[in-house]
Amino acid sequence: MNARIRKWQEKLGFGILIAATVFVILVLVVILYDIFSKGSGILSWEFITSKPRKGMTEGGIWPAIVGTFWVSLVTVVFAVPTGLFAAIYLNEYAAQNRLVRVIRIAIRNLSGVPSIVYGLFGFTLFIMILKIGLSVLAGGLTLGLLTLPWTITASEEALKTVPMSYREGALALGATKWQTIRTNVLPYAVPGMLTGTILGLARAAGETAPILFTGAAFFWPLLPSFPKVLTTQFMALPYHLFIMATQHHAIVKVRPIAYGTAAVLIGLILIMNAAAVYIRYRFRKKYKRL
Amino acid sequence: MILNTVQSAETGRVGRIRAWRRFKEKAIEAFFLANGLFAVVVLIAIFSMLFTEGWPALKRVPLGEWFLSAEWDPTSPVRESYGILALIVSTLMVSVGALILAVPLGIACAAYIADVAPPKVREIVKPVIEILAGIPSVVVGFFGLVVLGPLLAKVFHTGNGLNGVNGSILLAIMALPTIMSVSEDAIVSVPQELKNASLALGATRWQTLMRVTIPAALSGIVASVMLGMGRAIGETMTVLMACGNAPAMPHSFLDPVRTMTATIAIELGETVQGSTHFHSLFVIAFFLFLMTFAVNLVSDIILQRVRRRMGGA
């Protein structure tokens, strides 16, 4: 092959790769544009802060936002400490033995378990066996189990970024392992863990299948205050979108509300993602200075 | 004599403190280990829950019916039937359809980001594409329902456009981020010396990419495809909203299909707890779990092997 043909071939090949990348970005843009352009018509302060009215054909989505907030809070309170502690073991204590390999295989496989299976598991464990009832608690814990593999992985990544010399310095001064982790590892891993936590939260907030059978309600406009809120059913943004899109008796009429719900949900998730990226960025800059 | 007692009291106290400290350290380590083991416990619990809850239905309905019959009609007043063949075929159909779309796109994107794009472009493109991974499946399903469905109906002149094609396209969107990021990792981790050797022999960057880098990263890419497949098989909300949900054997991609995940989501709320129908949904979930487990395990084994090889090189 002569050089000109090869040059031409390279240009064509790279062109195809660029086209594929542009296409994927275009898909993203089309989805976001469709949701936001058609959702923005209904978006208003009132839509966000008022309850659904008239058989959910009018009014806002405030209870769904509050419900999503509470259920996500339960998710975080359960999954973040558990994930962090597991990550501390894996990154700071674990030797390369069979037990650790089994734990790692379990974590990777948990992250591949379909969300609907988590829903069934949560239903069986929390509703049928433990009988805590359809509730924020049951939904949040189910989502917590789902996010566990992500929080473990994110925490471990954060711990890995702490330089080995920090640990060696403390150990050389006679600190015990736990003292070392507490004073010289965890403080530096916090931003990374925060990033991972927010990303996990964003994913949990958008999940629908796990809360289908564990507490999400069609219409539940009044949520009591803490701690009573933990034991009631709840509305949630993703489930509300699902209902408005497929189950409502006047589907065409409520389409704007469905679009508005989708826009708020995506907006929330984008904000959380942006926050996570920002924290990661700040953190990296700080480390460069050190 | 006096000096001696003082000394031994001293070592006694120090010894006690040391012992206490050792005990504390051990206890803390055990606590963290317990949290690590929790993941194993959950995985085993999920598996055994699906099996024990599915067992009553597995016992009542002959094994042949599950897999050989395509008729899923557990609420029939005449004769209940529990054939999940159509559901399995539907699941595999939309998943394979998704891969046909997502694999070339995902690998091309990964190759571009990892090997071709200038660093500045990469810094922008990568996070933008990561946003795709953050879009909830229910929103993607909604998009399929209200935008893609009508569009497909117009193009193919069929019904409402809620069918296998719609599901495949949506699942491709869901699987893309996984395929892309894992493939990208694989392509990035190909040793620079390999590429340099190829370039030094006069190959163009394109030839190097196609004949050296991608073949070297192939096992990682295969693993990414498997992971994407796992995601597609397990997706619930998108297929529930955009596939039409007819529980019959699909004959083409333009037929409405109903996957295993959608069946569970639709029917669990409608069954009587404890009935054979109720337990049969756990049987579906059990086989679904086995399918995703197998796919994930294979990709995991491949990735571990790649890591060891790349680490050793």
In the chain, the amino acid numbered B125 is: V
> In terms of domains, do B19 and B143 share one?
no
pLDDT at B1 over 50: no
Asked if residue B67 is part of any domain, the answer here is: no
In a domain, B80, yes or no: yes
B151, B10: one domain: no
d(CA A170, CA A181): 9
This prediction's pTM: 0.91
Give yes or no: residues B35 and B107 share one domain: no
Give me the mean pLDDT over the B209-238 stretch.
Answer: 94
A108 interaction partners in chain B (CB closer than 8 Å): 296, 300
User: Which pLDDT belongs to residue A60?
Assistant: 86
Q: Does B274 touch chain A (CB under 8 A)?
A: no
B135 and B9 co-located in one domain: no
Q: State the nearest Cα–Cα gap between B112 and chain A, in angstroms.
A: 6
- Whole-angstrom CA distances from A49 to A60, A142, A221 are 6, 27, 12
Contact B109 A16 (CB under 8 A): no
Nearest CA to A206 out of A30, A27, A75 is that of A75
Q: Which residues of A touch B146 (CB under 8 A)?
A: 245, 255, 258
pLDDT in the model for residue A281: 81
Q: What is the mean pLDDT of chain B?
A: 90
Residue A220: per-residue pLDDT: 83
In this structure, the answer to whether residues B43 and B137 fall within a common structural domain is no
Yes or no: say if B228 and B102 are a contact pair by the CB < 8 Å rule: yes
Q: Would the CB atoms of B143 and A35 count as touching at under 8 Å?
A: yes
Q: In the CATH hierarchy, which top-level class contains the domain A45-289?
A: mainly alpha
Interface residue B266 vs chain A (CB under 8 A)? no
Chain A contact present for B298, CB below 8 A: no
Answer for the pair A159, B84: CB distance below 8 angstroms, yes or no.
no
State the pLDDT at residue A288: 58
List all residues of chain B from 204 to 263 with a beta carbon under 8 Å from chain A: 204-207, 209-210, 227, 230-231, 233-237, 240-241, 261
> Among the three residues B18, B40, B60, which one is the final residue of a domain in this structure?
B60
Which helix or strand (DSSP H or E) is residue B72 part of?
strand B72-73
Q: Among A24, A93, A178, whose Cβ lies nearest the Cβ of B105?
A: A24
Smallest CA–CA separation between B221 and chain A, in Å? 16
Residue A94: list chain B partners with CB under 8 A: 36
Residue B186: pLDDT band with limits 50, 70, 90: very high
Would the CB atoms of A93 and B32 count as touching at under 8 Å? yes
Is the Cβ pair A21, B125 closer than 8 Å? yes
The gap from C-alpha A216 to its chain's centroid, in whole angstroms, comes to: 17
User: Mutate which of A84, A102, A109 to disrupt the B interface (most B C-beta within 10 Å)?
Assistant: A109
A213·B269 Cβ contact <8 A: yes
Q: Which residues of B touch A265 (CB under 8 A)?
A: 136, 138-139
Domain locations in chain A? Answer: 1-39, 45-289
B72-96 pLDDT per residue, tens? 988 888 888 899 999 999 999 999 9
**Residue A32, min C-alpha distance to chain B (Å):** 9
Q: B43 to chain A nearest CA, in Å? A: 6
Residues B49, B186 within the same domain? no
Checking if the pLDDT of B313 tops 50, the result is no
B132/A28 touch (CB, cutoff 8 Å), yes or no:
yes
For range B14-27, the mean pLDDT: 89
**Residues 61 to 100 of B: which have CB under 8 A from any A CB?**
none
Does residue B65 belong to any structural domain of this protein?
no
pLDDT of residue B127: 85
- Written as one letter, the residue type at B217 is A
Q: Note down the domain range covering B23.
A: 2-60
Residues B144, B229, single domain; the answer is yes
CB atoms A116 and B137 under 8 Å: no
In this prediction, residue A2 carries a pLDDT of 79
B210 contacts: CB under 8 Å, gap ≥ 6: A13
What are the start-end ranges of the H helices in chain B?
Answer: 2-60, 63-68, 85-111, 119-134, 137-143, 149-156, 164-188, 192-200, 205-208, 214-216, 218-234, 237-242, 260-267, 276-312
Q: Are residues B31 and B143 in the same domain?
A: no
Long-range Cβ contact pairs of A168-173 (< 8 A, separation 24 or more): none
B290 shares contact with chain A (CB less than 8 Å): no
pLDDT digits (tens, 9 = 90+) for A48-57: 988 888 877 7
Count of pairs with CB atoms under 8 A, one residue in A, one in B: 252
| Share of residues in chain A with pLDDT > 70 (%) | 98
As for how many domains chain B has, the answer is 2
Residues of chain A with pLDDT under 50: none
- Is B230 domain-assigned? yes
Tell me whether B264 touches chain A (CB under 8 Å).
yes
CB contact under 8 A, B36 and A109: no
Q: Residue B302 belongs to a domain with what CATH number?
A: 1.10.3720.10
- E strand residue ranges, A43-178: 52-53, 58-59
pLDDT tens profile B259-308: 999 999 999 988 888 899 999 999 999 999 999 999 999 998 888 888 77
Best mutation target among B26, B107, B135 (most A Cβ atoms within 10 Å) is B135
Specify if B66 maps to a domain: no
Please indicate, yes or no, whether residues B26 and B157 belong to a single structural domain of this protein. no
State whether B233 and A114 contact (CB < 8 Å).
yes
CA of B22 vs chain A CAs: smallest distance (Å): 9
Does B247 lie in the same domain as B98?
yes
C-beta atoms of A17 and B39 within 8 A = no
- Looking from the CA of A167 toward its CB, the CA atoms found within 13 Å total 15
Tell me: do B122 and B195 sit in the same domain. Answer: yes
Nearest CA in chain A to B293: A109
pLDDT for the residue numbered B237: 94
